[in-house]
């Protein structure tokens, strides 16, 4: 049975292209990033699953008045297995980030471009590749009339790119009965080109907005104002000392240390000859699990007090996202063993359980007491201009999913 499934998947190049073309053409951007949500893309995927004969598709709607339809949809489809008390879930997300600076793209980010065996477009890797791979497995099962050892579950969630409040986090809080204690969970939402990283742990994550308040004035008379750009720059440089305050390393993770990076900077003044009286920037912190995020915040506040005293400004802090690390999935967990064996069988190499700094929906599952693995074969180039995905990885990852699903079967 498995051999037939793998052979069927191997022949699905055109299906990969057709699905990716559809997915890329629908910019499912969340309202936090100025978009209208996942409704249209969800409808397209429901229609596709129905077209291959999947029945009993369930939709879950998280209320959100910021989008036209008033909700953020997630959709689940289960193909029954021999043991219907267990489900092997593949969880992907339908939302994407905005394209960013269009001048950096060589093509329309929302029109699929094919370069030999490479697909280009917003979302082709993050997370369309995971969506497509899971659908290839479903298509093979349905068209061959196969029955896996356990249920095969496809879950396409909303809002992953902005914290999952309207996605998997919502489902775990409001629909706890959709998952069983013996279920298996794969999230194809992070990976390395070698396929060898089998992610079982994540760092704590803190996103902080820092607003610096001073006094605006004409640039020719700086003594009449308080320059917040200077103070912000000093604060950004001061934040590099966080690496000294929290110096631990853990070889499970890559990178093995905590990271503290200034990222987004909001515009201040529009003209060159005005000293800004307000500056806003953001800091992205990925912290090893042994440290408490409250301790990191206190260290930042302490540095801020020093900068305020030196430069005569005020600082305000807004926590954009704060997630203390969830318990790691045990190395000996069943899903880890299945995935390590399946990756080795398809891609070779030495697949190894690892920890990462990037946050995924796996943390929500682990926090709820489920063992979850995050894995995919990525370039990676998520969130970058000219985002790319290899057709062979869409197919190969589907074969890994199938092997993990049919582990122990014939």
Q: What is the DSSP letter of 166?
A: T
Tokens matching residue 295? 């301790």
| 202 labelled catalytic | no
CB under 8 Å to 101, separation ≥6 — which residues? 385
Quote the CA–CA distance of 175 and 188 in Å, as a whole number.
22
Cα 270 → chain centroid:
34
Inter-residue contact 306 to 238 (CB < 8 Å): yes
Inter-residue contact 345 to 229 (CB < 8 Å): no
Kindly provide the b/e burial profile for residues 359-371, where b requires at least 16 CB atoms within 10 angstroms of the residue's own CB.
Answer: bbbbbbbbebebb
Q: Are strands 83-93 and 184-187 parallel, antiparallel or unpaired?
A: parallel
Q: Are strands 83-93 and 150-157 parallel, antiparallel or unpaired?
A: parallel
Burial of 401 (0-12, 13-18, 19+ CB in 10 A): buried
Q: Which residues lie across from 119 on neighbouring strands?
A: 114, 389
Nearest partner of 154 among 59, 82, 83, 26, judged by Cα: 59
| 177 labelled catalytic | no
Catalytic residue among 64, 125, 159, 160: 160
Give the end-to-end CA distance of the chain in Å, rounded to a whole number: 6
CB atoms within 10 A of CB 263: 9
CB under 8 Å to 40, separation ≥6 — which residues? 26, 28
CB under 8 Å to 318, separation ≥6 — which residues? 208, 209, 211
Nearest partner of 69 among 33, 98, 30, 122, judged by Cα: 30
Catalytic residue among 95, 125, 189, 199: 95
Active-site residue set: 95, 160
């Amino acid at each position: 049975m498995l051999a037939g499934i793998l052979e069927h998947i191997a022949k699905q190049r055109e299906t990969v292209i057709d699905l990716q073309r559809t997915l890329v053409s629908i910019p499912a951007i969340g309202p936090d990033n100025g978009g209208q949500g996942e409704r249209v893309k969800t409808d397209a995927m429901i229609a596709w699953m129905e077209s291959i004969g999947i029945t009993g598709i369930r939709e879950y709607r998280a209320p959100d008045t910021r989008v036209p339809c008033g909700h953020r949809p997630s959709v689940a489809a289960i193909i029954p297995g021999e043991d219907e008390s267990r489900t092997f879930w593949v969880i992907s997300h339908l939302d994407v980030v905005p394209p960013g600076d269009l001048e950096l793209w060589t093509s329309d980010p929302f029109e699929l471009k094919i370069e030999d065996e490479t697909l280009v477009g917003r979302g082709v890797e993050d997370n369309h590749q995971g969506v497509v791979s899971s659908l290839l497995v479903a298509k093979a099962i349905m068209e061959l009339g196969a029955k896996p050892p356990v249920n095969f579950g496809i879950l396409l969630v909303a809002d992953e790119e902005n914290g999952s409040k309207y996605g998997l986090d919502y489902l775990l809080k409001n629909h706890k009965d959709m998952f069983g204690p013996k279920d298996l969970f794969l999230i194809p939402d992070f990976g390395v080109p070698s396929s060898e990283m089998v992610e079982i742990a994540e760092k704590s994550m803190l996103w902080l907005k820092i607003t610096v308040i001073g006094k605006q004035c004409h640039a020719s008379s700086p003594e009449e104002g308080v320059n917040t750009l200077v103070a912000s720059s000093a604060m950004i440089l001061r934040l590099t000392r966080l690496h000294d305050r929290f110096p631990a390393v853990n070889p499970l993770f890559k990178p093995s240390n905590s990271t503290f990076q200034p990222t987004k900077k909001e515009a201040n003044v529009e003209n060159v000859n005005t000293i800004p009286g307000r500056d806003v920037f953001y800091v992205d912190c990925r912290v090893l699990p042994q440290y408490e995020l409250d301790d990191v915040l206190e260290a930042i506040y302490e540095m801020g007090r020093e900068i305020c005293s030196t430069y005569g400004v005020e600082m305000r802090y807004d926590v954009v996202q704060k997630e203390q690390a969830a318990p790691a999935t045990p190395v000996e967990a069943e899903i880890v063993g299945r995935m390590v064996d399946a990756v080795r069988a398809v891609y070779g190499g030495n697949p190894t359980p690892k920890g990462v700094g990037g946050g995924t929906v796996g943390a929500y599952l682990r926090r709820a007491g489920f063992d979850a693995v995050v894995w995919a074969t990525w370039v990676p180039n998520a969130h970058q201009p000219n985002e790319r995905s290899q057709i062979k990885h869409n197919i190969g990852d589907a074969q890994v999913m199938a092997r993990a699903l049919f582990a122990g079967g014939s």
